[in-house]
């Protein structure tokens, strides 16, 4: 019985590893630069290397997507990148450092669909700079470095 369970578990693990994408298509956002669609390895190590540290996932959208960023970006003084807006269009947070937007599978990150790529490429295409005005953060569009 134990041998059968181990065999079945092995089969499930092999199937799971075959269905996981080796690379995924994401929208990458760099401070001071236009967003772009890139391919990234679908490994924790590659994601951490891309954001420059431990990853954090933010879920600010209705879509099945997440923003993968450096969890200590602000603490480490990384350059502010793009604003996150609430349903009324007010800024409630700013992502610091490089980040990417990817799709969310059942239990893993996946490629964005072509429609999602276009949506988030359009949303984050232009870099932003930030100023404080009357106690409120304002995001201003800027030219790419």
Q: How far is Cα 54 from Cα 134, in angstroms, rounded to an integer?
A: 34
* Residue ranges in the chain whose pLDDT is less than 50: 2-9, 11-18
Q: Cα 98 to chain center, whole Å? A: 9
- Work out the percent of the chain whose per-residue pLDDT is above 90: 80
Residue 5 in any domain: the answer is no
Q: How far is CA 93 from CA 33, 86, 103, 124, in A?
A: 19, 9, 21, 14
- Spatial contact of 140 and 130, defined as CB atoms under 8 Å apart: yes
What pLDDT, on a 0 to 100 scale, did the predictor assign at position 17?
46
Nearest Cα residue to 117 out of 138, 101, 133: 101
pLDDT in tens, 73-100: 999 999 999 999 999 999 999 999 999 9
What pLDDT, on a 0 to 100 scale, did the predictor assign at position 128?
97
Residue 11 in any domain: the answer is no
Residue for token pair 């990148």: 81
Residue 15 in any domain: the answer is no
Residue 4 in any domain: the answer is no
What pLDDT, on a 0 to 100 scale, did the predictor assign at position 21?
87
Q: How far is Cα 93 from Cα 1, in angstroms, rounded to an integer?
A: 53
Residue 111 in any domain: the answer is yes
Query: How many independent structural domains does the chain possess?
Result: 1
What pLDDT, on a 0 to 100 scale, did the predictor assign at position 143?
80
pTM exceeds 0.75: yes
Residue 131 in any domain: the answer is yes
What pLDDT, on a 0 to 100 scale, did the predictor assign at position 114?
98
Residue 6 in any domain: the answer is no
Q: Domain residues for 98?
A: 20-141
Residue 109 in any domain: the answer is yes
Q: How far is Cα 109 from Cα 86, in angstroms, rounded to an integer?
A: 24
């Amino acid at each position: 019985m134990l041998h059968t369970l181990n065999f079945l578990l092995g089969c499930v693990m092999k199937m799971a590893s075959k269905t996981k994408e080796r690379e995924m298509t994401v929208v990458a956002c760099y401070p001071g630069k236009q967003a772009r669609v890139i391919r990234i390895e679908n490994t924790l190590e590659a994601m951490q290397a891309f954001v420059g540290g431990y990853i954090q996932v933010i879920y600010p959208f209705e879509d099945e997507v997440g923003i993968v960023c450096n969890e200590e970006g602000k603490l480490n003084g990384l350059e502010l990148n793009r604003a996150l807006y609430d349903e009324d269009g007010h800024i409630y947070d700013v992502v610091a450092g490089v980040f990417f937007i990817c799709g969310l599978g059942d239990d893993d990150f996946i490629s964005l669909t072509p429609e999602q790529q276009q949506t988030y490429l359009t949303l984050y295409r232009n870099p932003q700079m930030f100023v404080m005005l009357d106690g409120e953060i304002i995001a201003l569009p800027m030219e790419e470095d």
